[in-house]
A and B are shown apart, each in its own frame.
Chain A
Amino acid sequence: MMVAGTIWQRELVEFAQRRRALVIKLAFPLVFGIPLVIAAPPVYAAITLTMLIAIIGALGAGAVLTRERQSGLTLRYRTLPVTPGRLLIERLSIGALIDFLQVTPVLLLIAVRHPSQFAWWPALVLSVAAVLLIGNLMGAVASTLSDSPGEVMLYVFITLLPLLFLSGVFTSLTEPALLAVSRLLPFTYLHEALVGALGGQPNLLAWETLLGGFGFLVGAAGLTGRLGRRVLESD
């Protein structure tokens, strides 16, 4: 019997024990990923994969934390001798890591299919990690707004869709103001990295995208720690 003494170990043990969920979770991105990476034009593949990665992070965390709030587990967390910031960082970073494992086959497929675009791989890895962590954080914050998982998912979508639009995911942004806004959103860097790694024509250079992804990853980790009390100790 596997045992877990820390929050991140517990997440992994529970994930590993739910075999059916594990298979579905790993197979789901491939269902979209294989036809997109193999047959779709880079720009469309990048749009769909950016949405998929953003949604995977946000919905998973939102649903799990809402369920835990309903079952009373969140109340129990409040009695643990762990600061809420640390607890949330552990929970969401391991959640993001599991989500990363989930999209890894698609990322590998991109690398195999477009080996000449290797300059974009570091930027892609970092921006995927950043978007997954930010998505997990969005889901966690959304879970404090309602006790209903359906309503929480709605809040996630209502927030994500305009942000994806402002990131230039759906259409190229030409207005200078909108372009400036897009640089402040993590989805921009993921989208650009995907376009680059899929052999398309990105608007940013690989190093700019790498820097953006890294900045958002660090920023998301810091913000997660600060929001711990807000997410886990709000009534």
Chain B
Amino acid sequence: MKVDTASEPSPLAATGLTRTYRGGKGVFDITLKLAAGEVMGLMGPNGSGKTTLLRMLATAATPTGGHIAWFGNANPHDPSVRRRLGVMLDQPAHFDKMTGYQNAWFFAHQFGLPDQLARDRLDELFRWSGLWDAREQVVDEYSLGMKRKLTLVEALVHRPSILLLDEPTLALDYRAELDLIERLQLLSLTGTAVVLATNDVHLAERLCDYVIFLHDGRLIREGHVPQLLTEVAGSKEVQLQVNSPIALESLRALAAVEAANVEGDTVHIILARGANPAQVLAVLNGTADMVSNMRVRRPNLGDVFLKLTGVALPAAHR
């Protein structure tokens, strides 16, 4: 059961949020609202604007247009706003010549934690994250995964009301990923609002209540996860690993194919409800030696994105 925080204004509300860069790239006219305890996923391929949007929501970047309010307060420089945010940016930046514990202690104190509380929480979080044995090691010697875990520890230590996490599972091992999911589910139940920028469809399906799809800096679709998944319910995704290029147009011309795209050496095909994967193979008749592997599976959020845009989300997270 989620905590009742109805008396407070929405943790996060953004209207017409825009940030443009030279060359025309950026994020354009995004409107979103996050409730207490809600987990929102920002999904899209690389360069779609997830990181820019998350940075604006985290007060790390200034919008060139639009408006954001955190608990009704629209001043991003107000320390009382920032004290309620826990942020994990894409770059796990630290003071490299200091130890992991020294780094975390510094950030804990910046958020106003007294010594004893900081010590207790850091001890618990270092144990939870698996960094306990490396706590006195300088961050320069940490692996990327360890640096990202340390950033998570620093984002969680002051128990923020809103967590903003950019690719939180990137470079984490499977065990750490499961621990993180469990922790985020628990935090959500106790009222923490969470925004995740991620391409990890399994993470998004497991954790997110609501998902926003971004493409070329624009919001192209949003909705609750079950609602989005109904759009591809009954259809199938066929993944073909190919040895050499195949004619996508002939595949797309099939009535049974809703969307098809290539990413690396893999062709992703969304088949319409009731369609038989053999129809795809029939088109490739005579070129079967090109296909080294074929996989049919139930569709996921990545397939919804593929169907909407014709662009596949990065393979590592599918």
Contacts and interface: CB of A to CB of B under 8 A. Distances in A.
Contact of B79 (A6, A14, A68, A82): A82
Contacts of A229: 77
Interface string A1-23: 11111100010011001100000
B60 A75 contact: yes
Interface string A166-206: 00000000000000000000000000000000000000000
A76 B97 contact: no
Contacts of A78: 59-61
B40 interface: no
B106 A10 contact: yes
Contacts of B97: 14, 17-18
Contact of B109 (A6, A17, A75, A83): A6
A75 B89 contact: yes
Interface residues of B, number: 38
A72 interface: yes
Nearest to B19: A235
Interface string B234-277: 00000000000000000000000000000000000000000000
A80 interface: yes
B62 interface: yes
B111 A81 contact: yes
Chain A interface size range: 20 to 34
Contact of B105 (A4, A76, A83): A4
Nearest to B108: A5
A13 B89 contact: no
Contacts of B87: 76, 79
B61 A235 contact: yes
B35 to A, nearest CB: 22
A68 B99 CA distance: 17
B106 A5 contact: yes
A79 B59 contact: yes
A232 to B, nearest CB: 11
Contacts of A68: 93
B55 interface: yes
A233 interface: yes
A73 interface: yes
Nearest to A78: B60
Interface string B57-83: 011111000000000000001011111
B93 A84 contact: no
B26 to A, nearest CB: 12
Given A71-B93, A72-B91, A235-B62, A14 B82 contact: no
Contacts of B110: 5, 80-82
Residue of A1, A3, A17, A82 with most partner-chain B CB within 10 A:
A3
Interface in A195-227: none
B144 to A, nearest CB: 13
Contact of B95 (A6, A14, A233): A14
Nearest to B89: A75
Nearest to A2: B102
Interface in B162-215: none
B98 A17 contact: yes
A79 B60 contact: yes
A6 B95 CA distance: 13
A78 B56 CA distance: 11
20 contacts: A1-B136, A3-B106, A4-B102, A5-B105, A5-B106, A5-B108, A5-B110, A14-B95, A72-B90, A73-B94, A75-B61, A75-B89, A76-B89, A78-B60, A78-B61, A81-B83, A81-B111, A81-B112, A83-B77, A83-B79
Given A72-B91, A79-B89, 7 more contacts: A14-B97, A71-B91, A72-B92, A78-B61, A80-B107, A83-B79, A233-B62
